[in-house]
Chains A and B, each alone.
Chain A
Amino acid sequence: IAGITQAPTSQILAAGRRMTLRCTQDMRHNAMYWYRQDLGLGLRLIHYSNTAGTTGKGEVPDGYSVSRANTDDFPLTLASAVPSQTSVYFCASSPAGGGKGLDEQFFGPGTRLTVL
């Protein structure tokens, strides 16, 4: 089934630990995105990638890093987790990226992360 998957579904993590959230899409979309969603706030863009091999910073990039070695995968790494990174993380992809008009984003099911 075509779509976008994320792993793990949920995770409880001790502060200071390193964690990588995985995201894979099989739709051959050019662009991919990582968002966090917190209660009472809109989705906030952490990092994005308009095409394999390139990445960019979003609105809240501090404490996070990404890589885009190929079209399908876009992992998000927390180098040293802090409690303020407790959130629901959504990965998304879109066909075009980079400012090409209507470019609907398709979202993965999300990862619920708790940092204690």
Chain B
Amino acid sequence: GQNIDQPTEMTATEGAIVQINCTYQTSGFNGLFWYQQHAGEAPTFLSYNVLDGLEEKGRFSSFLSRSKGYSYLLLKELQMKDSASYLCAALNSNYQLIWGAGTKLIIKP
């Protein structure tokens, strides 16, 4: 079957760094997406990885290891507005996104 695993909830402190992990098992693989979703709102795109390695975009970075079926999203210099759910999604061989249930990130002052 196809499966995406990520922690249900994480807590971090404002100004700190947090890493949200994601493991995936899909029928074929064509890339890994991260989306941010604030409560009651729509998901918005954060990053896309298809090759192994780290992609950096401002305070956010995303890493992929295809051989391990593993990705993480790294958030630096946390701000209160980063409190949201972070969704990991893998693109399978049919180019359909398989989504994780999301990690709710709580930022404390």
B87-A43 in contact (CB<8A): yes
A67 to chain B, nearest CB (A): 20
User: Which A residues touch B101, using CB under 8 A?
Assistant: 40-42
Residues of B within 8 A of A75 (CB): none
A104 with B48, Cβ < 8 A, contacts A43-B87, A90-B43 known: yes
CB distance from A54 to the nearest CB of B (A): 14
Let me know if A53 is at the binding interface, CB within 8 A.
no
Cβ of B30 and Cβ of A42 under 8 Å apart?
no
Tell me the smallest distance from the CB of B89 to a CB of chain A, in Å: 8
Main DSSP-derived SS at the B contact region? loop
A109-B42 in contact (CB<8A): yes
Check if A42 sits within 8 Å of B100, measured CB to CB.
yes
Contact-residue bracket for chain A: 20 to 34
Chain B residues within 8 Å of A102, by CB: 31, 48, 50
The answer to whether B42 touches A108 (Cβ under 8 A) is: yes
B98: chain A residues within 8 A (beta carbon): 42
* Interface residue? B44 (CB, 8 A): yes
Chain B residues, CB < 8 A from A108: 42
- B73: chain A residues at CB < 8 Å are none
Q: Which residues of B contact A (CB under 8 A)?
A: 4, 30-31, 33, 41-45, 48, 50, 87, 89, 94-102
Beyond A90-B42, A99-B95, 13 additional pairs, beta carbon < 8 A: A41-B101, A42-B4, A42-B87, A42-B98, A42-B99, A42-B100, A42-B102, A43-B87, A43-B97, A59-B96, A102-B48, A104-B33, A107-B43
- Interface residues of chain A, those whose CB is within 8 Å of chain B, are 40-45, 48, 58-59, 90, 97-99, 101-110
Q: List 20 A-B contacts (CB under 8 A).
A: A42-B4, A43-B43, A43-B89, A44-B99, A48-B96, A59-B96, A90-B42, A90-B43, A98-B95, A99-B30, A101-B30, A101-B31, A104-B33, A105-B97, A107-B43, A107-B44, A108-B42, A109-B41, A109-B42, A110-B41
